[in-house]
């Protein structure tokens, strides 16, 4: 019983699916399967149930059943092919299906000698063909004529011009006309239903499209909000951190977060005629800084509008064509050409090309979309704003915080930072070491080689210190050739380790004076807060005294 119920549900489901179809073919196939199976079964069982003395050719029932089996298989094939009919044979068999049913009905009328049996066979076949297909006007007229003529020939053959013949003629004409009207109404009703379904479907599509547009607008607003939020963070950072590279690094990191498929990236800034890497995410920035590019090496040089965002597919192939072998090998050595897709956009400062941002994806050439190009252009505009703010801030504030020559902190700003560092040490219950440094023989260098070389020596020293920067280190120029370094969370032994590291670096990277190398030495004195006291002035004097002691030892 359960098996029969399962079969029934399956058949009911398939019939429902076909009935909900949006084309005439769906309906014709559904009704073709139903009519072929039912008529085939009826004719098959009729062969066994009808007596031999009741019909002329009993075997006709088997032929009729076989024809319906063939028709059933044909409709089943069309159903399995998802209603796609390419074969001319199948198309012809679909069209002939109602005519075959009529022929079977007229054939049974012929083998049945009784008038009532003949009429009932005809009526059953007309009833069947009235709804098994959706007929256009031309097919309806042909089918109506095919209904009337053969059956009346059979009636004339059996009954001549008797009353039975004329009664049958009247009845068959009436049934044919009613069948035609029913088929016409059914056709119009079906067309109207399909038209309504198509209208509803179109409305649904329009609603889906409108929802998609609304979602796109929402996504753009959300992206714009995120970019604005990120730029507020960056602007705040500019006011706290006046190092442009730090700001650019923050911009790049926020950009990687905002662009969905971005996995790495870099920012290049124009300096003179050269392009320099100033920020990187996912790459070694120290290695990238060793590579200097020209504007003609950039993808933007091939664009009509250099400020339009673009997508580069397969970075390695692109650079192999454009870059000189030496630069190409430099990129390869640090694995900086593995990006499969690069989203890039230039930005400007004072209406001139100033740099560009690249966002890299290592997985797919279709990683970025047109929407991503819109987003990176928006980001590039925000970068321009950030740079403009930074430049204004730099002009107004930087001179009070940074020594123009060495870019170390000024004496005044150093005092502010030192007080903040001491406050933090008190909160954390840690150490702080004050290092006073004085460059040896600096006056001699100035006197022998001139002030320009002297300035270069100071810059060289500052660069050496920066190459060995540690976390929370405060590096300041107090005056002339005297510098101070504050090491937070470092006792005297740890601070001395940092100083020795700087000395070792200077020994390996000597100062170049007129084609000769000169080892620059410096004296250093260290005092530690709070281990040696909590009075800052006393600690500075202690470090200063120790520096002079160190200088005396070195002499």
CA distance 220 to 226: 10
Residues 6+ apart with CB under 8 A from 427: none
Tokens read off for 145: 């004529």
Q: What is the mean pLDDT of the chain?
A: 84
Closest to 444 measured CA to CA, from 462, 459, 435, 457: 457
Q: What is the DSSP string of 215-240?
A: HHHHHHHHHHHHHHHHHHHHHHHHHH
- The answer for residues whose C-beta is within 8 angstroms of residue 527's C-beta and 6 or more apart is 433, 434, 492, 533, 539, 540, 542, 543, 546
Q: What is the pLDDT of residue 267?
A: 93
CB-neighbour burial class of residue 102 (10 A; exposed 0-12, middle 13-18, buried 19+): buried
pLDDT of 553 strictly over 70: yes
Confidence of residue 241 (pLDDT cuts 50, 70, 90): low
Report how far residue 433's alpha carbon sits from residue 493's, in angstroms, rounded to the nearest whole number. 9
Q: Which residue, 479, 484, 554, 486, is CA-closest to 522?
A: 554
**Comparing 205-219, 260-274, 293-307, 488-502, which segment has the lowest mean pLDDT?**
205-219
Q: What pLDDT is attached to residue 280?
A: 93
Distances (CA, A) of 224 to 218, 247, 377, 548: 10, 20, 11, 58
Q: Which of 193-197, 208-212, 458-462 has the lowest mean pLDDT?
A: 193-197
Closest CA to 527 of 437, 457, 448, 395: 437
Domain architecture of the chain: domains with CATH: 2-203 (no CATH), 241-396 (3.30.450.40), 400-554 (3.30.70.270)
Query: Residue 198 has which token pair?
Result: 């198509």
For residue 487, the tally of other CB atoms under 10 A from its CB is: 26
| Residue bearing tokens 């020209």 | 294
Q: Which of 495, 475, 484, 483 is nearest to 457 (CA)?
A: 483
For 321-340, b/e burial (b = at least 16 CB within 10 A) is ebbeeebbebbeeeebbebb
Residue 234 scores a pLDDT above 80: no
Question: Of all residues in the chain, what percent carry a pLDDT higher than 70?
Answer: 92
Is the omega angle on the peptide bond into residue 530 within 30 degrees of 0, that is, cis? yes
What are the two backbone dihedrals, phi and then psi, of residue 133, each rounded to the nearest 5 degrees?
A: -145, 160
Count other C-beta atoms under 10 Å from residue 343's C-beta.
27
Whole-number percent of the chain with pLDDT over 90: 21
Inform me whether the pLDDT recorded for 15 exceeds 80.
no
What's the whole-number mean pLDDT along residues 65-73? 91
Average pLDDT for 126-145: 82
Q: Is the pLDDT reported for residue 264 higher than 90?
A: yes
Residue 395 burial by CB count (10 A; 0-12/13-18/19+): exposed, middle or buried?
exposed
Helix (H) or strand (E) holding 208: helix 163-240
Kindly tell me if the per-residue pLDDT of 316 is higher than 80.
no
The set of residues, in sequence order, having a beta carbon less than 8 Å from that of 158 and lying 6+ positions away, is 113, 115, 118
- Assess whether pLDDT exceeds 70 at residue 504: yes
- pLDDT tens digits for range 474-487: 999 998 899 999 99
Q: Are 525 and 467 in contact (CB under 8 A)?
A: no
Contact 27, 190 (CB under 8 A): yes
Q: How confident is the model at residue 543 (pLDDT cuts 50, 70, 90)?
A: very high
**Rounded CA gap, 61 and 524, in Å?**
119
130 falls in which pLDDT band (50, 70, 90)? confident
Task: State residue 477's pLDDT score.
Answer: 93
Q: 379 falls in which pLDDT band (50, 70, 90)?
A: confident
Burial class (CB in 10 A: 0-12, 13-18, 19+), 183: buried
For residue 541, what are the contacts with CB-CB under 8 A and spacing of at least 6?
none
Phi, psi of 201 (to 5 degrees): -65, -40
Tell me the pTM.
Answer: 0.46
Nearest to 554 by CA among 482, 517, 513, 503: 503
pLDDT at position 334, please? Answer: 84
Euclidean distance between CA atoms 355 and 383, whole angstroms: 10
345 φ, ψ to 5°?
-155, 135
Q: Looking at residues 309-331, what average pLDDT do you find? A: 81
Query: Is residue 487 within 8 Å of 435, Cβ to Cβ?
Result: yes
Binning pLDDT at 50, 70 and 90, where does residue 230 land? Answer: low
Helix-helix angle 163-240:137-159, to 10 degrees: 160
- pLDDT above 70: residue 194: yes
Model confidence over 406-453: pLDDT tens digits?
Answer: 989 999 889 988 999 999 989 888 989 999 999 998 888 888 888 888
**Across residues 337-355, what is the average pLDDT?**
89
Structure-token pair, residue 242: 């006046």
Please give the residue that has the higher pLDDT: either 343 or 83. Answer: 343
Asked whether 263 and 236 are in contact (CB, 8 A), the reply is: no
Q: Place 182 in a pLDDT band, splitting at 50, 70 and 90.
A: confident
pLDDT for res 220: 67
On whether the CB atoms of residues 158 and 195 are closer than 8 A, the answer is no
15: which residues sit within 8 A by CB, 6+ positions away? 30, 34
CA-closest candidate to residue 473, choices 454, 504, 501: 501
Contact predicate 91/77, CB 8 Å: no
Q: Average pLDDT for residues 512-516, to the nearest whole number?
A: 82
Region 46-62: what's the mean pLDDT? 84
Q: Judge whether 457 and 511 are in contact, CB under 8 Å.
A: yes
- pLDDT computed for residue 346 by the predictor: 92
542: which 2 tokens? 């202690």
In eight-state DSSP terms, residue 112 is B
Q: Which two tokens stand for residue 550?
A: 């160190």
Number of H helices, E strands in the chain: 18, 12
Q: List C-alpha distances in Å: 238 to 111, 415, 419.
A: 102, 21, 22
Higher pLDDT, 394 or 444: 444
Q: Which helix (H) or strand (E) holds 525?
A: strand 522-529
Predicted confidence band of residue 10 (pLDDT cuts 50, 70, 90): low
pLDDT at position 476: 94
């Amino acid at each position: 019983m359960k098996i029969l119920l399962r079969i029934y549900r399956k058949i009911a489901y398939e019939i429902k699916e076909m009935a909900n179809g949006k084309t005439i073919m769906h309906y014709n196939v559904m009704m073709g399967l139903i009519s072929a199976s039912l008529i085939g079964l009826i004719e098959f069982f009729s062969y066994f149930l009808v007596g031999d003395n009741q019909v002329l050719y009993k075997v006709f029932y088997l032929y009729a059943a076989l024809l319906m089996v063939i028709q059933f298989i044909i409709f089943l094939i069309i159903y399995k092919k998802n209603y796609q009919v390419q074969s001319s044979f199948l198309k012809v068999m679909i069209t002939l299906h109602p005519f075959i049913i009529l022929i079977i009905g007229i054939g049974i009328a012929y083998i049945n000698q009784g008038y009532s049996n003949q009429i009932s066979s005809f009526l059953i076949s007309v009833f069947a063909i009235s709804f098994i297909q959706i007929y256009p006007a031309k097919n309806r007229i042909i089918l109506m004529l095919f209904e009337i003529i053969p059956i009346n020939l059979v009636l004339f053959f059996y009954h001549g011009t008797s009353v039975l013949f004329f009664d049958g003629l009247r009845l068959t004409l009436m049934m044919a006309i009613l069948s035609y009207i029913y088929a016409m109404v059914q056709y119009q009703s079906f067309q109207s239903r399909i038209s309504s379904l198509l209208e509803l479907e179109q409305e649904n599509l329009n609603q889906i499209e409108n929802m998609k547009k609304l979602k796109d607008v929402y996504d753009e607003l959300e992206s714009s909000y995120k970019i604005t939020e990120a730029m507020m963070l960056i602007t705040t950072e500019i006011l706290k951190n006046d190092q442009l590279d730090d700001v650019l690094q923050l911009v790049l990191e926020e950009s990687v977060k905002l662009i969905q498929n971005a996995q790495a990236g870099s920012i290049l800034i124009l300096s003179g005629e050269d392009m320099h890497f100033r920020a990187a995410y996912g790459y070694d920035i120290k290695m990238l800084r060793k590579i200097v590019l020209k504007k003609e090496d950039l993808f933007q040089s091939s664009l009509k509008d250099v400020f339009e965002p673009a997508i580069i597919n397969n970075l390695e192939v692109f650079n192999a064509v454009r870059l000189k072998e030496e630069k190409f090998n430099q990129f390869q050595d640090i694995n900086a050409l593995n990006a499969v897709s690069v989203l890039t956009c230039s930005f400007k400062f004072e209406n001139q090309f100033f740099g560009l941002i690249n966002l890299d994806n290592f997985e797919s050439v279709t990683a970025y979309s047109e929407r991503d190009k819109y987003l990176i252009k928006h980001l590039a505009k925000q970068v321009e704003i950030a740079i403009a703010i930074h430049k204004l801030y730099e002009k107004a504030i930087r001179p009070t915080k940074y020594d123009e020559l060495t870019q170390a902190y000024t004496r005044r700003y150093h005092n502010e930072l030192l007080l903040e560092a001491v406050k933090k040490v008190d909160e954390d219950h840690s150490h702080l070491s004050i290092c006073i440094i004085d460059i040896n023989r600096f006056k001699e260098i100035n006197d022998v080689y001139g002030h320009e070389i002297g300035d270069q020596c100071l810059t060289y020293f500052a660069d050496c210190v920066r190459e060995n920067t540690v976390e929370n280190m405060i590096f300041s120029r107090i005056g002339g050739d005297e510098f101070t370094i504050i090491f937070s969370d470092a006792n005297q032994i740890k601070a001395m380790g940092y100083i020795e590291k700087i000395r070792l670096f200077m020994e390996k990277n000597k100062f170049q004076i007129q084609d000769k190398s000169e080892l620059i030495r410096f004296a250093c004195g260290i005092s530690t807060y709070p281990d040696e006291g909590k009075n800052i002035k006393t600690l500075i004097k202690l470090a200063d005294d120790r520096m002079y002691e160190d200088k005396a030892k070195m002499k």
